[in-house]
Amino acid sequence: MTNARITLVRDFTLGEVPRRLFGSFVEHMGRCVYTGIFEPGHPEADEKGFRQDVLKLVKELGPTVVRYPGGNFVSGYNWEDGVGPVDKRPRRLDGAWHTVESNAFGLHEFVDWSRLAGTEIMEAVNLGTRGVDAARELVEYSNHPGGTYLSDLRKQNGSAEPFDIKLWCLGNELDGPWQIGHKTAHEYGRLAQEAGKAMRFVDPDIELVAVGSSHSSMPTFGEWEHTVLTHAYDEVDYVSLHAYYQEDDGDVKSFLATAVDMDYFIESVVSTVDAVRAAGKHSKHVNLSFDEWNVWYQRGLDTDDQPHNVSKGWREHPRLIEDAYNVTDAIVVGTLLNSLLRHGDRVKIANQAQLVNVIAPIRSEENGPAWRQSIFWPFARMAELARGQILRASVDSDKYESAKFGDVDVVDVSATWDEDNGRVALFVANRGLDESADVDVSLSGFVGGRVSRAEVLGVPNGKDRFATNTLESGEQVGLSPLAGVTVTGSRLRFTLPALCWAVIEVEVTRA
């Protein structure tokens, strides 16, 4: 048995939970759009082709904002191809994923789908093959009320009202040599500055995200952010971060500790951003948008069903990176969400990549069913319950040794206090592979009451940590009740089984 003591203090908060932390991502990649959210002719599709079975799971997952249309895809995309009569839209080669894009789904379809899903739109512009002009025109088409060529074209294409898109990404991963239109930091910094300026001339109320590093081990990491922001600090509101993690060579202890890397990445970018702020004598703060993150087994990128395999020729919506997630992956996802929430004073947007089929919490089959992967659950519960104030948690946990990150806390936690509904929620992982963990929480400044939620995701009976939810297996990894949670005054106690993620929500009053 390992032990952890956690102290939460009512007035020791980090600020309001940024609800945009629970974002997701829909890219024209593989089967995320086609046969994912959109499949005309599917028995569950509505008259617009939106799969209602998938939509139901999306609503249950609860993303607040969805980034679109890429990803690497956007760096070669003409937004004009995706508007207007569907039968007139051009079929194009998408070099990023070596696929044929039919353009049957485009901006209007995404706006309609987002309204049904109840999600905010985060639209990315192409700063790979295109530039200032296409970016500002897309803002005019989307947000200008009418009376100009582009806004009237939107009306003619079926939307009398502007889309009113607030959140815009100034390109995608342009620091990466794999990106179409890859740029140096100077080239991109100037382009982001000018594109941002021109987009704001059209709509001054938009919020802009500059491309940051594609991961923290990029050779240009640090310098990229510094140079880009030195050019574009005044024009942008956020700088982006992307990170994908996987279990390497059976090193599960390091994999379970990857939130340490996310902490490092976030804190390094905050320092860089603030250094530019000081050097440039800027008064405003630029915040962080962690707009791609997840577990992704990139080791298999050269196998048959992987994106850069060109031997199969040009295909339409092939199966690409449809990772099947196991119990360990779900626990890691829970700890990554904890890291994001613990940095919610500066990370204001985050998007799990992606939403359906492509490294996704939701899977669907063409002409077949849709289901939840293991990683669905930490996201769904945190999106539902992390509301109100982020509580700073002081954690005194037993540690374990990991090859990549040294000594790591066995128990990982984040917590929130929603004064409106009088509840404290704890999101907690036991990274211990073999031992259960006794957790003792001091709720200082609160008097605890009823336990309104206590659920745990762990290894299902008779299975191991590699259990997944597949079409064949059904949903065998999910949540079950966590028994034995006790509240006495300001003290909350529970025991976590080995290797699990759990959510505990308690009714509280002020002490």
When binding is defined by CB under 6 A, the residue of 2, 35, 64, 72 that contacts ligand AHR is: 72
Report the alpha-carbon distance of residue 18 to residue 9 in Å, rounded.
20
Interacting span for ligand AHR (CB under 6 A) from 14-22, 54-62, 69-77, 122-130: 69-77
Q: Residue 247 interacts with ligand AHR (CB under 6 A)?
A: no
355 binds ligand AHR (CB under 6 A): no
What is d(CA 199, CA 429) in angstroms, rounded to the nearest whole number?
Answer: 43
Contact segment (CB under 6 A) with ligand AHR among 70-78, 373-381, 448-456, 469-477 equals 70-78
When the beta carbons of 173 and 225 are compared against ligand AHR, the nearer one is 173
Under the criterion CB under 6 A, does residue 289 sit at the interface with ligand AHR?
Answer: no
Among 354, 357, 414, 430, binds ligand AHR (CB under 6 A): 354
Residue 368: DSSP 8-state: S
Least Å from the CB of residue 116 to ligand AHR: 23
Pick 353 or 393: Cβ nearer ligand AHR: 353
Give the range of 64-72, 107-115, 130-138, 446-454 binding ligand AHR by CB under 6 A: 64-72
- Binding flag, residue 357, ligand AHR (CB under 6 A): no
Return the number of the residue (74 or 327) whose C-beta is nearest ligand AHR. Answer: 74
Nearest to 53 by CA among 63, 44, 40, 62: 44
* Catalytic hit among 173, 225, 235, 505: 173
Smallest separation, CB 122 to ligand AHR (Å)? 13
Amino acid found at 385: L
In this structure, the dihedral spanned by the alpha carbons of residues 64, 242, 238 and 350, taken in order and rounded to 10 degrees, is 20
How do 315-316 and 99-101 pair as beta strands? Answer: parallel
Under the criterion CB under 6 A, does residue 71 sit at the interface with ligand AHR? yes
Quick one: which segment of 65-73, 133-141, 408-416, 431-439 binds ligand AHR (CB under 6 A)?
A: 65-73
Q: Is 70 in the site for ligand AHR (CB under 6 A)?
A: yes
**Strands 411-418, 406-409: parallel, antiparallel or unpaired by DSSP?**
unpaired
Asked whether position 27 contacts ligand AHR by CB under 6 A, the answer is yes
Catalytic residue at 507?
no
Structure tokens at 2: 């390992």
Give how far Cα 348 sits from Cα of 16, 41, 359, 387, 446, Å.
10, 38, 23, 14, 27
- Report which residue's Cβ sits closest to ligand AHR: 71
- In whole angstroms, what is the distance from residue 209 CA to residue 359 CA? 23
From candidates 24, 114, 172, 374, binder to ligand AHR by CB under 6 A? 172
Closest among 68, 38, 66, 67 to 53, alpha carbons compared? 38
Per-residue exposure over 390-412, b if at least 16 CB sit within 10 Å of its own CB, e if not: bbebeeebbebebeebeebbbbb
Q: Which stretch binds ligand AHR (CB under 6 A): 66-74, 132-140, 279-287, 325-333?
A: 66-74
HSE, side-chain direction, 13 A CA sphere, residue 349: 29
**What does the block give as tokens for 494?**
């529970």
| Cα–Cα distance, 21 to 290 (Å, whole number) | 8
173 binds ligand AHR (CB under 6 A): yes
Which residue among the candidates 120, 123, 140, 292 is catalytic per the annotation? 292
Amino acid at 288: L
Q: Which is nearer to ligand AHR, 147 or 177 (CB)?
A: 177
CB of 414 to ligand AHR, least distance (A): 24
Smallest distance from the beta carbon of 172 to ligand AHR, in angstroms? 5
10 Å CB burial of residue 224 (0-12, 13-18, 19+) is buried
Residues in the chain: 511
Piece of the chain touching ligand AHR by CB under 6 A; list 13-21, 49-57, 68-76, 428-436: 68-76
- State the greatest distance between any 2 C-alpha atoms of the chain, in Å, as a whole number: 69
Residue of 202, 243, 333, 353 interacting with ligand AHR (CB under 6 A):
353
Could you say whether residue 323 binds ligand AHR (CB under 6 A)? no
173 tagged catalytic: yes
Cβ proximity of 376 and 24 under 8 Å: no
CA–CA separation, 29 and 68 (whole Å): 11
Task: Kindly tell me which of 173 and 247 has the beta carbon lying closer to ligand AHR.
Answer: 173
- Exactly one of 120, 175, 292, 412 binds ligand AHR (CB under 6 A); that residue is 292
Number of residues near ligand AHR (by CB under 6 A):
10
Which residues does the annotation mark as catalytic? 173, 292
Contact residues: ligand AHR, CB under 6 A: 27, 29, 70-72, 172-173, 292, 353-354
